[in-house]
Amino acid sequence: MTTIEVRGLTKRYGDDTVVDDLSFTVEPGQVTGFLGPNGAGKSTTMKMVVGLVAPTSGSVTIGGRRHRDLPAPLTEVGALLDAGAVHGDRKAYDHLLALAVSNGLFRRRVDEVLARTGLDGVARKRAGGFSLGMRQRLGIAAALLGDPRVLIFDEPVNGLDPEGIRWIRDFMRSLAREGRAVLVSSHLMSEMAHTADHLVVVGRGRLIADTGMAEFLHANGEGTVLVRTPERAAFARRLTAAGATVRDGLESSLVVSGPTSEEIGKLAAHHDVALTELTPRRASLEDAFMELTRDSVDYRGAAA
């Protein structure tokens, strides 16, 4: 199983430290969301993974080896870094064929990746006429040419319409289900909530959080239930006796974790307690992310 191991990774441009002693691991079989505000150093880190930028110090390895030591890099790691980087006058098929041939890959992979990304119908069309969504698919097709175990995508859904976003999300999930390690960057928490199993959050080049998605959701309120009742103290005791964890919420409410809202409703009915509110809470991920990165946003609007 191939992982990406980032250890003490640092990049300085002059006096600016844009990636600062970053360490994390991207595990196979899951989507790792790489999240941070604009300018946090995500793209620079991804470029260091694939050897396009040299680290000032620290290391990044793929399956234990640095990118420059991989004998056939495209068969180990595929990357979508900039979807615009395709010759506009080249046909999709020819673009992929040139990449395959120059990297010693089988020609049949071109047809395979075109089919997998749904581009077989436009393979003989010039990439210059492609929509942004189709250019993204072509970039993904190129990343998949060597059938690599590790894939990295830099802001793949930026600028796409809802259908394009849905397609990319589902596609990344299917790559992870095949046991590949998938690293995808975004500056939108809401995007990650739909896609990632694991989260690596950065701000000003530094690691802010490295956590499972489920843990992150739970820590930020997902799975709790807001309860209001005129018999607040008595019902809180009943809930605690039934094994729930109860804390005081705003405006005389109770925030209950453990049981579902249905179980809480049944417990109330059983003890003849009137409830005036019973609301399962959804975590506000965007709020949680803003809170996490509050001190590391470079340029904030005047209203913030």
Ligand X SMILES: Nc1ncnc2c1ncn2[C@@H]1O[C@H](COP(=O)(O)OP(=O)(O)OP(=O)(O)O)[C@@H](O)[C@H]1O
State in angstroms the smallest separation of the CB of 251 from ligand X.
38
Q: How far is CA 255 from the centre of its chain?
A: 29
State in angstroms the smallest separation of the CB of 233 from ligand X.
49
Q: In what order do the strands lie in the sheet with 277-280?
A: 245-248, 254-257, 224-228, 277-280
Both tokens assigned to 242? 């039934």
State in angstroms the smallest separation of the CB of 286 from ligand X.
16
Q: Nearer to ligand X by C-beta: 103 or 296?
A: 296
Listed in sequence order, the DSSP H helices in 179-246 are 189-195, 213-219, 232-241
Q: Nearer to ligand X by C-beta: 38 or 102?
A: 38
Both tokens assigned to 298? 């470079």
Output phi, psi for 94, to 5 deg.
Answer: -65, -35
Q: Nearer to ligand X by C-beta: 39 or 258?
A: 39
State in angstroms the smallest separation of the CB of 154 from ligand X.
7
Distance between CA atoms of residues 174 and 120, nearest Å:
19
Q: Nearer to ligand X by C-beta: 2 or 45?
A: 45
Binding site for ligand X (CB under 6 A): 13, 18, 36, 38-44, 187
Q: Nearer to ligand X by C-beta: 158 or 253?
A: 158
The answer to whether the beta carbons of residues 22 and 206 sit under 8 Å apart is: yes
DSSP run (H or E) holding 150:
strand 150-153
Whole-number Cα distances in Å, 1 to 27, 65, 181, 230, 261: 8, 13, 9, 56, 41
State in angstroms the smallest separation of the CB of 44 from ligand X.
3
Whole-number Cα distances in Å, 88 to 35, 92, 144: 31, 9, 20
State in angstroms the smallest separation of the CB of 45 from ligand X.
7
